[in-house]
Amino acid sequence: MTRTAFVSGASSGIGRATAVALAASGFQLVITGRRRERLEALAQQLAPTPVHILTFDVRDRAAVEAAVNSLPAGFQSIDVLVNNAGGAHGLAPIQDGDPNDWDLMLDSNVKGLLNVSHALLPGMKERQKGHIINIGSIAGHEVYANGNVYCASKAAVAALTKAMRIDLLPLHIRVAEVNPGAVETEFSQVRFKGDAARAAKVYEGFDPLKPEDIAEVIQFMVTRPANVHIAEITVLAGAQGAATLIRRE
């Protein structure tokens, strides 16, 4: 029987790579994001894997609920949810931070995760099965200078993951967190408001993780037998010792 995976933020980076990896493992996919043209290109790449596209912003609870309720019958039974959508906005000490950036991070990284999970959990509850992977960050476990609200949002993801795992245990729903370190994606371009040169400097002098590295970890986690529950994994680049400790050469 074909399993269905729902991947948020699938238009780029870790989400896109995860969709590719899960398709290779035999999953059919619901891929979501705000940039439909990118999702359509991904769906074409994944052919002949069955793919359904949903376009919404995870911060908009009503849009999330409407999108999930619109799923055709063949895509309604979600076996795996990958809560990947989110990001970092700005890098400044708390006294100089932009409250608009704070809202973006808390609304996408925390409330967005809750919105998508809330929309899909009734079906998982009814079927008494499911597997949720929340994409956290090393930043959720190590606060660093100027990372304040982003770190707080990912610390919330870590706490929510543990709480969800406890609450959903009686329903046979597994919940896990993947905490990437330095992954070269559009992450830094978003954080630095499109400043490509500044973003590139983040990854200079070492070999960062690639989105595919994280996708392979997720693929492994969701293909374990029912008696195996990998609850949390932290993945650092080979040259990385901590959130901000990187050996550059």
For residue 182, which of 196, 203, 199, 155 has the smallest C-alpha distance?
Answer: 203
Distance CA(18)–CA(213), nearest Å, equals 9
In Å, how far are 12, 60, 146, 190 from 98, measured between CA atoms?
25, 21, 12, 14
Where do the DSSP E strands lie in the chain? 4-7, 28-33, 51-55, 80-83, 130-135, 173-180, 232-235, 240-242, 245-246
Cβ pair 90, 97 in contact under 8 A: yes
Distance CA(117)–CA(124), nearest Å, equals 10
Instruction: Enumerate the active-site residues.
Output: 150
User: DSSP assignment of 75-102, as one string?
Assistant: G-S-SEEEE----------GGG--HHHH
